[in-house]
Structures are given as structure tokens and as C-alpha cells.
Structure 1
Amino acid sequence: MIEWLKKVSLFDNLNDDQLEHILRIANRRTFQTGTILFQEKDYGNTFYVVLTGTIKLFTRSNSGEEKILSLVNAGESFGELSLLDGRPRSASAQTLETTTVLELSSQTFMELLQTHFDITRGILAELCRRLRQTNEHVNDLTFLDGRTRVLKNLITLANQNGKRDGQIITVHMALNFDELAQMAGVTKIVLTDVIREFESRGVLQFGIGEYKINLLKLRG
């Protein structure tokens, strides 16, 4: 289990003894595809570290329309904000595939922050990264057209989750097309048109649960 924790960016600066301490106060749980871990506006008392799988963080409008804010993959964490500021959850969380997480309760999490500055510093860095990501997303929605947003979103997912073999990047994709469109901030029709265009040019190749990006074709 320590080897799993070493992959978590939040715990980069911790030694084996400190990681063992985290394991002693955490609960390991596995959730099936489609499980809601918490809803937007719930009061949070748990912080999560993803060991395997993928979780989407999303909100819903008053009309019920869903907007995906981000994907959380193995080695990443979520749920800190509600524990730190005491306010309701700012988004809902749902598994996109079978997912295993470590859960830390509010009390043990706060004790952890008080006794391990390395973890506190890591969380501050992570929150700053998410704020920058949010600012970039708002900028994209304001200034980029739908076609560019789709392509940028696919490349971002490839950078985060892809495996490169020569000039081909293969990306495991837990999102369906509706969710991919929501994440890019476009309609499904726009998404489909863009994918067809790049497939015809040999840039993209979609398969079952994955897609491939040809870097040579992309640069061309």
C-alpha cells in the first residue's frame, strides 16, 4: 500500500514512516461504477485519495443540466475544501469505473495537517493548481471556439492519462460522449463533428473505452 501512496502527488515529500501513519488512520474502500460518493451542497466530513479508477466531479444547473468540472484519477485527491472551510461540498462526485479510494475523516485529516507540514504544503500546492485550472477553463469558455476546446480537452486528457508508444498516445477514457461534450463545454453535435474531422485526418482513432492521438498527424 505504501507504494500506492508514493504515487500520490499530495504525499510527495513524505517518508515511509509518515506514509505508514496515513495508512493507519485511513479506510480503504472500493466503489462500483456509477456510485455517488457525495452530492453538491452536502456537508463534507471525508477527504479522498484515489488509488485506482476514475471519479468525475460535477455540478447541476437548476434545470438539471450536468457540467463536469474535472476528472480525478489514480494518484490524485479530492474533497479537501469542505474539510478546510467547513462549507458544503462545491460539487458532486461519482465513479466512472470501479474505483478504490482511501478515506480520511475530518478529525484525523485535520490532525494530520497539524502534525505534518509537508502534507499541508502539498495540499496548498494542489489547491493552487486547481484554482489555476479553473481560471484556465473559464478563459477557454470565453475566448476559444468549440472546435478548439474539444481538441484541447482531448490533449489534456492524453497528457494526464495517456501512454505513449512512439508517436501514438493511447488514452483510457471512462467518459462517454455526452460527458466528454460537457467537459469541453460544447454540444454533443459539435463534439461529434470535431471527432469526425480529426478521425478523417488520421489525428484521432476512437475505440472501445479508449482513443489514440497520432502526434505526427496532429503536428501536421
Structure 2
Amino acid sequence: MIDPLIIGHLSFYQKVSLFEGLNEKQLKSIMEIMTLSEIKKGDLITREGEIGDSMFILIKGEVEISKSLFLPQMADQAVLQEKALIRLNDKQYPFFGEMALFIDQPERSASIKAVKPCTLTVIQKKALLTLLERDHTIKSIIFMNIGVVLTKRLIKANKDILKLTTAFSLALQGE
């Protein structure tokens, strides 16, 4: 049975790229395994390096995604600083934490903090994988959609690396 608070967001979920291509019945199957979570401003949703087993959809609010400037293994040797990478709000229909679905004991790749009070949908890995094993059509659509998002993120990361490498090379030439 779908939580009445979750079913109230059906039209929102239909705009989330993760669910693109699903019909209403298929989407409602996924909504049955969702839970809602209210997050206070300033609270961490995920912490870089921690083990994760769920993904999130931002229904209301705004979050900031940040990464440490040092490797977590070096945290005791240096002052650990966070670099804010991006802010996401509910108008973008974002989801995050999806990499936790693909490997056992996945470490979170970034910290995510609520910069405004947030309402999140939480999808647990075990519940989602159980559902996807029962319905291979939903499985192929969801994994294709996640693949598209991860590919876009990888393309952006490659461009960012090229810019950083170029800037570093130019800085070294100027010395």
C-alpha cells in the first residue's frame, strides 16, 4: 500500500528523470517501497565516505553537494576542507545516492547537506532490487535512466578535469 503522503506527490514523481518512461501503474509499484523523510536545515543527508544503502529524491527544499579537498584517508594528516560543488532544489526534480544501488558496501562519493528544510523520498536498495527482480520492464527502464544520468555526470566530470588540467599546465608554464 502506498503512503497517502507519497501518493500525493504522484505528479511530481512523473517529472523525475529516474522514472521517465514508466506508466502510472509501474510508478505506483515503486511508490509502494518509498518512505518520506523530513530533514532540518543544516542537517547532513549523506556524509562522504560513509556506507550507503539508499537513494533519495528531493521533493521539497534545497541541498548542497560537497566533496572533501583531501582524500578521506588523509583526514588526520591535514585540515579537512569541503568544497561545495552544486546546489539542487526541488524545481530540478533531482535524485541522488543512486550509486549505492550498484555495489555492495558503497561509500558515499559526496556529502549532501540541507540548506533549507527538505522533504525527501527514500528508496532502500534491498526493497528496490526486490521490486526490480519481479518486474524486468521497470528494471530496464530504471537502469537505463540511471545510466543516462551517470553518463551525463561523467561527461561533465571529464570536461571539468580537462579544464583543471589545462589550468594546472598553464600555471606550471608561467613559473
- Counterpart in 2 of 1:193? none
What aligned pairs does 1:114-193 form with structure 2 within 5 A after superposition? 114=133, 115=135, 116=138, 117-143=140-166
SS of 1:18 mapped into structure 2: helix
Deviation at 1:53, TM superposition (A): 1.8
> In structure 1, the residue corresponding to 2:32 is in which secondary structure?
helix
In structure 1, list runs of 5 or more residues that go unmatched: 146-220
Work out the CA distance in 2 between the residues paired with 1:106 and 1:36: 20
Shift of 1:68: 2.2
Q: Which residue of 1 aligns with 2:81?
A: 65
2:128 paired residue number: 109
Q: Is the contact made by 1:113 and 1:120 (CA closer than 8 Å) also made in structure 2? A: no
1:38 shift after superposition: 1.8
User: What is the match of residue 15 of structure 1?
Assistant: 23
* Alignment match, 2:98: 80
Shift of 1:17: 0.8
What is the TM-score with the length of structure 2 in the denominator? 0.75
* Cα contact 1:47–1:109 (8 A) shared by 2: no
* C-alpha separation in 1, matches of 2:27 and 2:59: 14
Percent identity, please.
26
The answer as to whether partners of 2:34 and 2:121 remain within 8 angstroms in 1 is yes
What is the CA–CA distance in structure 2 between the aligned matches of 1:132 and 1:57, rounded to whole Å?
Answer: 18
Aligned-residue offset at 1:16:
0.9
Provide the C-alpha distance between the structure 2 equivalents of 1:112 and 1:137, rounded to a whole number of angstroms: 36
- Between 1 and 2, higher relative CO (CA 8 Å, sep ≥ 6) is seen in 2
- How far has the Cα of 1:144 moved from its partner? 5.9
Aligned partner letter, 1:79: G
Q: What residue ranges of structure 2 are gaps of 5+ in the alignment?
A: 1-8, 169-175
Cα 1:51–1:136 shift into 2, 3 Å: same
How much has 1:50 moved relative to structure 2? 1.1
Letter aligned with residue 84 of structure 1: F
After superposition, the C-alpha distances for 1:38-65 in whole angstroms (9 at most, x for unaligned) are 2111110111011122222212223221
Contact 1:53 1:73 (C-alpha < 8 Å) held by counterparts: yes
Does the aligned pair in 1 maintain the 2:100–2:125 contact within 8 Å? no
